[in-house]
């Protein structure tokens, strides 16, 4: 298999990680946080601890004006416009700093939804697709927190199938305005938003974006939804009844609303991961603290192996996912700079970078939300009965986390998208997966290599190459069946889900390996490296088993007889990562967490 090494000067393209390898020294890790970034991170943490967490009940009860006042305060600190260029009143900070901001705000529960809807899907459509006049008119006031934004895509009849929206927009006879009629559903921030980004069908069939101001006659709101969690976040229906929207408020081109809707979601997914992992770290800390305090059978429950497993696993999943998050964060930054150097303006460069890594953003959305779900679930379990009580924070965190697998594209839709995007990019020639897939096929027909793994991380490097071979073998075989007319992947979502899960496992494993290798080269303490190595080996041990199962499930669904036997032999050859004593590796991680009394990785 060709495993070309990517030079930092040629930034890895979207999806290319499957066929190229990266170097630790070119991979960004959060431990590289610089002084300015640390200052901003601490500023957000102070805001969280002083303004948000002590007032959490006021947020949770949706006390009128309270969440908007918090957004305004964040705006005054520059935290709502950190991602905007100075020309629009922003701080123009790099992607990694913005990732640290979201990460730090992660424990803010419902408030993270208000924040993300405002700065992401609320502001970005104007920044990416607005005219200069629209940008000047709205962005500085949105960035300062004076105005709040909401994003109206979903309707009662169109959720995942967003382009099936029925809300209409018809140009008035004098051409001065569009008349909007229809209904939007599940709109975050609707209760206090001043600006609504609305998608409607011009003439009933041209999906188009609009900027709609709150005081537009004909715009009305439904009651607050009674939700499972994130109760502090305003979620309402928005109705349009002959609502006249000035023609100059069309966003982007008529009929090109899908570009706005989907591009805003790429960064939304990325930010969702950062916020989720920030929340996961806080929850892990709460689990550790409770496990140290709670005495049963005359000792802290943290002494029990079953509890240590949970504490360690919460931290391991979070650390591994975080490696992928910051890796993509830096890729986005590099790609943005690449487009800037080619003459694109800031908005275009940022938009194109997010589009390039749409596949990686979908991976992050899934791992961020699923890691958080694991962590909050085990947090409840570690708290026992107290975890089930509304007196503590565990029950609320458990309910709040659940939304993340549903919005910004459900996790099923994101998994489907990942595989679809990979095949599309391959078909367009943006990445070459055919040659490496063919080389894997040739390797299957040859004698297994007896080459020994070399170096401190030789086993993991080899396992990673093998993970990629398994993905290429399985996806390549399915694609070939499809070309031969023996399989229609559109009708075989179970197989697509298997392939998506292997892609996710591979990307996380690689990101973690690169981070741990880089940390080994930095001047970290040997006792910390011992923990990083334990995390790495645990993840590779588990990933090997899971990838083997996903591949077996997929291959057995479409191959049989000799062909299936050949694939399964290949699979056996590619899953030779030596078994790890995961009891000991997890105990080591748990011991470090318990000693520190918090998530300390």
What is the contact surface with ligand FAD in residues (CB under 6 A)? Answer: 117, 151-154, 159-160, 186-188, 227, 230, 235, 403, 406-407, 410, 412-413, 493
Rounded CA gap, 286 and 189, in Å?
29
Rounded CA gap, 447 and 450, in Å?
9
Least distance CB 170 / ligand FAD (angstroms)? 22
Rounded CA gap, 407 and 186, in Å?
10
Hunting for tokens 């460069």 — which residue is that?
349
**Residue 482: how many other CB atoms lie within 10 Å:** 16
Residue sitting closest to ligand FAD (CB): 159
Active site (annotated) includes residue 505: no
Provide the 8-state DSSP code for 597. T
The residue among 368, 342, 367 whose CA lies nearest residue 356 is 342
Rounded CA gap, 467 and 452, in Å?
17
Q: Which two tokens stand for residue 547?
A: 């990838």
- Beta strand 4-5 with 195-202 is unpaired
Residue with smaller CB distance to ligand FAD, 487 or 531 = 487
Segment (H or E) for 220: strand 219-221
Hunting for tokens 């459900």 — which residue is that?
410
Residue with smaller CB distance to ligand FAD, 77 or 413 = 413
Least distance CB 165 / ligand FAD (angstroms)? 9
Residue with smaller CB distance to ligand FAD, 187 or 487 = 187
What is the SS3 assignment for 155? Answer: strand
Least distance CB 412 / ligand FAD (angstroms)? 3
Provide the 8-state DSSP code for 52. I
The tally of CA atoms less than 13 A away on the side-chain side of residue 372 is: 28
Rounded CA gap, 139 and 195, in Å?
11
Residue with smaller CB distance to ligand FAD, 50 or 160 = 160
Catalytic residue among 408, 460, 505, 510: 408
What is the SS3 assignment for 62? Answer: coil
**CB contact at 8 A, 245 and 208:** no
Residue with smaller CB distance to ligand FAD, 116 or 479 = 116
Residue with smaller CB distance to ligand FAD, 113 or 301 = 113
Burial status of residue 211 (CB atoms within 10 A of its CB: 0-12, 13-18, 19 or more): buried
Least distance CB 190 / ligand FAD (angstroms)? 8
**Residue 445: how many other CB atoms lie within 10 Å:** 8
Rounded CA gap, 219 and 152, in Å?
12
Hunting for tokens 């689990």 — which residue is that?
287
Least distance CB 469 / ligand FAD (angstroms)? 28
Residue with smaller CB distance to ligand FAD, 89 or 209 = 209
What is the SS3 assignment for 84? Answer: coil
- Catalytic residue IDs: 408
């Amino acid at each position: 298999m060709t495993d070309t090494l990517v030079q930092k000067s040629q930034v890895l393209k979207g999806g290319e990680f499957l066929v190229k390898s990266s170097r630790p020294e070119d991979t960004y890790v959060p431990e590289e946080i610089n002084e300015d970034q640390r200052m901003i991170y601490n500023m957000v943490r102070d805001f969280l601890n002083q303004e948000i967490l002590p007032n959490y009940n006021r947020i949770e009860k949706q006390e009128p004006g309270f969440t908007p006042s918090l957004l305004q305060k964040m705006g005054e600190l520059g935290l709502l416009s950190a991602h905007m260029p100075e020309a629009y009143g922003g701080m123009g900070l790099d992607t990694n700093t913005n990732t640290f901001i979201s990460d730090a705000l992660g424990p803010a529960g419902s408030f993270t939804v208000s924040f993300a809807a405002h700065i992401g899907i609320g502001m970005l459509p104007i920044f990416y697709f607005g005219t200069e006049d629209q940008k000047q008119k709205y962005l500085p006031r949105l960035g300062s927190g004076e105005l709040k934004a909401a994003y109206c895509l979903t309707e009662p009849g169109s959720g995942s199938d967003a382009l099936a929206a029925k809300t209409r927009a018809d140009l008035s006879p004098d051409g001065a305005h569009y008349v909007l009629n229809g209904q939007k559903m599940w709109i975050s921030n609707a209760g206090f938003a001043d600006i609504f980004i609305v998608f409607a069908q011009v003439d009933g069939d041209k999906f188009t974006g609009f900027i709609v101001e709150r005081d537009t006659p004909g715009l009305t709101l439904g009651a607050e939804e009674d939700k499972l969690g994130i109760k502090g976040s305003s979620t309402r229906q928005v109705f349009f009844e002959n609502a006249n929207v000035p023609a100059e408020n069309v966003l982007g081109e008529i009929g090109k609303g899908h570009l706005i809707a989907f591009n805003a979601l790429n960064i939304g997914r990325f930010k969702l991961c950062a916020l989720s992992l920030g929340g996961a770290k806080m929850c892990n800390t709460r689990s550790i603290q409770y496990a140290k305090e709670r005495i049963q059978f005359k000792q802290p429950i943290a002494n029990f192996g079953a509890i240590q497993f949970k504490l360690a696993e919460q931290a391991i999943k979070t650390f591994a996912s975080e490696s992928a998050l910051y890796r993509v964060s830096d890729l986005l930054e590099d790609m943005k700079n690449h487009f800037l150097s080619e003459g694109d303006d800031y908005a275009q460069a940022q938009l194109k970078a997010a589009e390039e890594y749409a596949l990686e953003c979908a991976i992050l959305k899934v791992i961020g939300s699923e890691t958080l779900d694991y962590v909050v679930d085990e947090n409840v379990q570690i708290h026992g009965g107290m975890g089930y009580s509304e007196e503590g924070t565990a029950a609320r965190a458990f309910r709040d986390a659940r939304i993340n697998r549903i919005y910004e594209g459900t996790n099923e839709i994101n998994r489907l998208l990942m595989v679809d995007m990979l095949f599309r990019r391959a078909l367009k020639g943006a990445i070459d997966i055919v040659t490496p897939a063919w080389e894997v096929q040739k390797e299957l027909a040859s004698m297994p290599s007896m080459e020994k793994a070399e170096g401190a991380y030789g086993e993991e490097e080899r396992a990673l190459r093998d993970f990629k071979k398994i993905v290429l073998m399985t996806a390549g075989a399915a694609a070939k069946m499809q070309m031969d007319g023996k399989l229609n992947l559109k009708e075989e979502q179970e197989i697509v889900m298997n392939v998506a899960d292997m892609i996710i496992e591979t990307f996380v494993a690689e990101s973690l390996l690169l981070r741990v290798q880089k940390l080994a080269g930095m001047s970290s303490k040997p006792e910390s490296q011992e923990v990083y190595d334990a995390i790495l080996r645990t993840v590779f041990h588990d990933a090997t088993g899971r990838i083997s199962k996903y591949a077996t499930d997929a291959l057995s669904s479409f191959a049989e007889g000799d062909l299936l036997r050949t694939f399964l032999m290949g699979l056996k050859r590619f899953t030779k990562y030596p078994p790890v004593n995961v009891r000991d590796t997890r105990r080591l991680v748990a011991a470090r967490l318990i000693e520190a009394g918090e998530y300390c990785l």
